[in-house]
Amino acid sequence: MAKIRLEGLTKRFGSVVAVNALDLEIQQGELVAFLGPSGCGKTTTLRMVAGFEQPTAGTIFFNDKDITQLPPESRNTGMVFQNYALFPHMTVYGNVAFGLEMRKVAKEEIRTRVANILAKVQLSGLEERYPRQLSGGQQQRTALARVLVLNPAVLLLDEPLANLDAKLREEMRFYIRTLQQEFGITTIYVTHDQSEALVMADRIAVMHNGVLQQLDEPEAIYRRPSSAWVADFIGLSNLVPGHVRHREHDRIVVDTPAGALVCLNSKGQVGQHHEEVLVCVRPESIHIYDGTAPLSNPGDSDQNRFSAVVHQRAYLGNLVDYRVRVTDKVTLRVQASPVRTYAEGEDVQLSFAAAEAWPIPKEGG
């Protein structure tokens, strides 16, 4: 296993800066997902770590050893590509054994190691099949086995589930995560799929325009986005503009077109009087009530409470997705259980806890 450290890593293609001064450290045995839209620099970063692209500037360390100038074959990394890159003329056994044969490993050891790894990835009995005779999931596991049999210090995965159907992709998320934890291998996982990153990663590195926007654990990324861009990219968010009225310990009061909103501000990112902010609250964090019910004294669970009108709704089976108009300037998205539904045009009340609202500096957008 290796600890990875990237210092000032930069890659330019002519006038285009694909990766801009990236600083990042990945611990031994950790799985970090590089998440972002197409063209954000995540795959370019992965290819620099693998040695397939040479940085314009910056340094790559494995266990404090500078490997920036080493060729790919000298880095002890294993890479699984989006298209798996299996040899079509070789059987499953031949594909998995290929790397060991290139390293002049003894034939008996090759047979033992291939058998062991095929058992690990649940491909025993399929040794003589060719890639064209395998399902998408079996091809993906063959590609994983071909890498893992070499005992690499670092595993690099470039959108390995992109070619699978939705149901199989969901199953393989948990399979790869379990396998990675069993081997304890340091892993970089590149994806544009938020669900994959949230399910699989120890930490997520969110990238945009070649710049690292936020690095944190999945729950923190989702519940406490550091900028409007991250909040908008990860899941669904309501972003309500306002001005800070005052700060109370770990909370602030923000004047918005929807009224005064109380927000958690535990890290103290904002809080200057009259500072412009965006109040971020997730649709599932907002409770919706019958509009005829009397307003109760708000407790911590519903410190922000106000009247509204259902503007639109969409029934999605396991939930109902509402657009609820609070004022002419503020419409909030609310996702709630279908047990009690509300019609378009119906008066309702909305509430959410201060701990579910998060202020973001306006310039963060």
Interhelix angle 107-120/92-102, rounded to 10 degrees, is: 130
Per-chain mean pLDDT for the chain: 91
Judgement on whether residues 76 and 150 belong to the same structural domain of the protein: yes
pLDDT at 270: 62
Residues 299 and 195 in one domain: no
Nearest to 322 by CA among 301, 295, 293, 346: 346
Q: Which of 210-214, 292-296, 312-316 has the lowest mean pLDDT?
A: 292-296
Q: What is the pLDDT of residue 294?
A: 61
CB 252 within 8 A of CB 271: yes
- Is residue 224 in a domain? yes
Per residue in 247-288, pLDDT tens? 877 889 999 999 999 998 766 566 567 789 999 999 999 999
pLDDT attached to residue 127: 95
Last residue of a domain, one of 228, 257, 291: 228
Does residue 168 surpass a pLDDT of 90?
no
Q: Is 3:29 a contact under the CB 8 Å cutoff?
A: no
State the distance between the two ends of the chain, measured CA to CA, in whole angstroms. Answer: 38
pLDDT for res 330 = 95
Is residue 164 domain-shared with residue 15, that is, in the same domain?
yes
- Where does a domain end: 197, 228, 259? 228
Q: What mean pLDDT do residues 99-113 have? A: 94
- Please check whether residues 183 and 261 belong to one and the same domain: no
* CATH number for the domain harbouring residue 183: 3.40.50.300
233 in a structural domain: no
- Give a yes or no: residue 330 inside a domain: yes
Domain around 348? 238-364
Q: Are residues 49 and 131 in the same domain?
A: yes
Which tokens go with 189? 């996982």
Q: Any residues with CB less than 8 A from the CB of 153 and at least 6 apart, and which?
A: 1, 2, 62, 76, 77, 185, 186
Q: How many residues would you count in the chain?
A: 365
Q: What is the CATH number of the domain that holds 299?
A: 2.40.50.100
Q: Is residue 263 part of a domain?
A: yes
**pLDDT of 365:** 43
Residues 163, 295, single domain; the answer is no
List the structure tokens of 350.
């909305």
| Residue 33 falls inside a structural domain | yes
Point out the domain boundary residue: 201, 228, 255.
Answer: 228
Mean pLDDT to the nearest integer, 124-138: 93
Query: Within this chain, do residues 340 and 255 fall inside the same structural domain, yes or no?
Result: yes
Residues 344 and 281 in one domain: yes
pLDDT value, residue 271: 59
Give the pLDDT confidence of 217-236 residue by residue, as tens digits. Answer: 999 999 889 889 999 899 89
pLDDT of 296 over the 70 cut? no
> Do residues 259 and 172 both lie within one domain?
no
Give pLDDT tens digits for 18-44: 999 999 999 999 999 999 999 999 999
User: The pTM is what?
Assistant: 0.88
314 & 258 share domain: yes
3-state secondary structure of 131: helix
223 shares its domain with 97: yes
Residue 212 lies in a domain: yes
- Looking at the structure of the chain, the number of domains it has is 2
Q: Is residue 156 part of a domain?
A: yes
Quick check: is 164 in a domain?
A: yes
Type of residue at 54: Q
307 close to 357: Cβ distance less than 8 angstroms: no
The per-residue pLDDT for 303 is 82
Instruction: Give pLDDT, residue 268.
Output: 58
pLDDT digits (tens, 9 = 90+) for 52-97: 999 999 999 999 999 999 999 999 999 998 888 899 999 999 999 9
Q: What is the mean pLDDT of residues 108-128?
A: 94
Q: What percent of the chain has pLDDT over 90?
A: 78
Same domain, 66 and 196: yes
